[in-house]
Structure 1
């Protein structure tokens, strides 16, 4: 029988000290980037958003330890967390159809046609810290865009969902019921979909100054907080 995770998520003095060092390093990284690259920042909040995703996600993971559980429970939790990460990755534009794939053509205008070379390519985009460096892979069917804030953020949520499923399995609720009861788990998916539908036409270009990014960030932070606190498991 597993036991529900009982950790104090409140920051200690050491946490605050480490946090101050991390924030100073992030500010320095941004200043060095702006000094080295011929770019200007139109809206600083998008830079802040990226570091909010990274810092909140890493802090929540550091404060969360999955409870003891049987191997079967851990396997189920890993499958659920893996599926959740995949949904987030697709909804958030980390993984999607390549511009050269027939599927992308159908999604754009309902016609099948070619978009240039079908050969695979890797590209490193020097976006602002948090958003970049972004590694972009484009194949004949698949496109993968690895931005630091999304990769770290989505992996953090998957880890928290893994711990949540184990906690739910240790209570009177089943793991599946406990996860479905956590409505907040769907918020980042909705926020990411809104961003994809109404935000910038390409997730590689600089962040568009539109409200969907505010929604996805608020949804992410709320989900991290609830999955770390996990009131259902209390």
Structure 2
């Protein structure tokens, strides 16, 4: 009687597969961007920051629990998420009052992920869209809306675990505020300048962002607030 040995079956966790796919897509886009523009490369540590933000955003949004709520609950959650996106965008300087005459739209070619920066100056409002920050803010806003769905669906105690992460979300923006003045003046994100880190603020912001995204997507405290 013969026996056929079979290898133990195993599979890569779904979040890991999403992360690998996200990194692959980013790498291809970054290569195409470098070939098509005069944008240069930053030091590896700084070049990695946008990759972390994009990858975490993709994994968190793809694999976060999506509670089912009524249409009214959906609109409430969407409204809170949208308000959070606008507030965070204002906090990090992506949306700000225009300081001069309207100049329209222009692009700043920075290293992949940091650029291309889209800048707009209109009547009363100015926008500065850094790709990786925009993706991170939108992801956090969506995750906040999912946490609000928990509150609408199961009551306040069910959403405590997710809502606790709001403090961390604000934390991911605060380190960036200190670097904003230097960034806009040319030290970090000015025209033709490579991104720079002053006192590790970008790295600190990245760490806080990863923590906030994990708390909002996984909602680990929920198990202690629900029965």
TM over 0.5, shorter chain: yes
Q: Number of paired residues?
A: 207
Gaps of 5+ in 1: 1-10, 101-117
Where 1:208 maps in the other structure, the secondary structure is coil
**Distance in 2 of aligned mates of 1:215 and 1:169:** 33
Q: 1:229 aligns with which of 213, 218, 221?
A: 218
RMSD of the alignment, in Å? Answer: 2.9
**For 1:35-77, what per-residue CA distance to the aligned partner results, in whole angstroms no more than 9, with x for missing partners?**
6656654522111001111111011111124211122222221
Map residues 161-180 of structure 1 onto 2, 5 A cutoff.
161-173=144-156, 180=163
Name stretches of at least 5 consecutive residues in structure 2 with no aligned partner. Answer: 1-10
- Matching residue within 149, 170, 181 for 1:186: 170
- Cα–Cα, structure 1 residues 199 and 225, in superposed 2: closer, same or farther, change >3 Å? same
8 Å contact kept, 1:66–1:162: no
TM-score normalised by the chain length of structure 2? 0.76
Contact residue 58 and residue 152 of structure 1 kept, 8 A: no
Whether contact under 8 Å (2:106, 2:120) holds in the other structure is yes
Instruction: Write the distance in 2 (CA, Å) between the matches of 1:146 and 1:39.
Output: 17
SS at match of 2:154: coil
Matches within 5 A, 1:22-101: 22-31=22-31, 33=33, 41-100=41-100
Whether 1:152 and 2:135 are equivalent positions in the alignment is: yes
SS in 2 for 1:195: helix
| CA distance in 1: counterparts of 2:103 and 2:183, whole angstroms | 26
Cα distance in 2 between the residues matched to 1:125 and 1:218: 26
Instruction: State the distance in 2 between where 1:150 and 1:13 align.
Output: 27
For residues 101-140 of structure 1, the aligned pairs below 5 Å read 118-140=101-123
Shift in Å, 1:85: 0.5
Instruction: Tell me, yes or no, if the aligned pair for 2:33 and 2:112 is still in contact at 8 Å.
Output: yes
| More deviation, 43-52/64-73 | 64-73
Alpha-carbon spacing, 1:197–1:174, altered in 2? closer, same or farther (3 Å): farther
Give the superposition deviation at 1:87: 1.3
Normalising by structure 1, we get a TM-score of: 0.74
Larger Rg computed on CA atoms: 2
Shift of 1:121: 1.2
Which secondary structure does the structure 2 equivalent of 1:153 belong to? helix
Q: CA deviation at 1:158?
A: 0.5
Q: 1:45 to 1:233 in 2, by over 3 A?
A: same
Partner SS, residue 99 of structure 1: coil
Tell me what 1:108 maps to. Answer: none
